[in-house]
């Protein structure tokens, strides 16, 4: 069960699930979280899903360096391989996709039909 979804399941309406696009037990972890400190990669950690809580601890050495420069830039990037990012983006009905897909074909047909009627 995903974090944040704890509630009384007995009285809740049944939600229609979408078809899974991969099984992490077969493919391994396809998402990652990358931490950078002042644009310098600190760590890249494979993760199972993109819904994470990430804590960044800045050491004394980097803290002193940041104080001398008067800034510390901490960047946290949650990403994944190309296919899984595409699958997540396709959850949005307005996303046409980067690759050949039925949604992109429907969108292209709609545009071409609108242009023909002008």
Give the pLDDT confidence of 54-98 residue by residue, as tens digits: 888 888 888 898 889 888 888 998 888 888 888 787 777 777 777
Q: 39 CB contacts (<8 Å, ≥6 apart)? A: 73, 75
What residue ranges do the domains of the chain occupy?
A: 24-80
For 70: left if phi > 0, alpha if psi spans -120 to 50, otherwise beta; the answer is left
pTM value surpassing 0.75: no
Q: What is the total residue count of the chain?
A: 118
């Amino acid at each position: 069960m995903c974090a944040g979804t704890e509630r009384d399941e007995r009285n809740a309406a049944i939600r229609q699930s979408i078809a899974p696009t991969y099984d992490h037990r077969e493919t391994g972890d396809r998402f990652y979280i990358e931490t950078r400190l002042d644009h310098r990669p600190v760590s890249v950690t494979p993760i199972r899903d993109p819904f994470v809580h990430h804590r960044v601890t800045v050491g004394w050495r980097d803290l002193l360096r940041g104080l001398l420069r008067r800034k510390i830039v901490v960047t946290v990037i949650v990403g994944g391989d190309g296919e899984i990012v595409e699958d997540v983006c396709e959850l949005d009905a307005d996303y046409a996709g980067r690759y050949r897909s039925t949604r992109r074909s429907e969108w292209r047909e709609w545009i071409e039909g609108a242009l023909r009627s002008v």
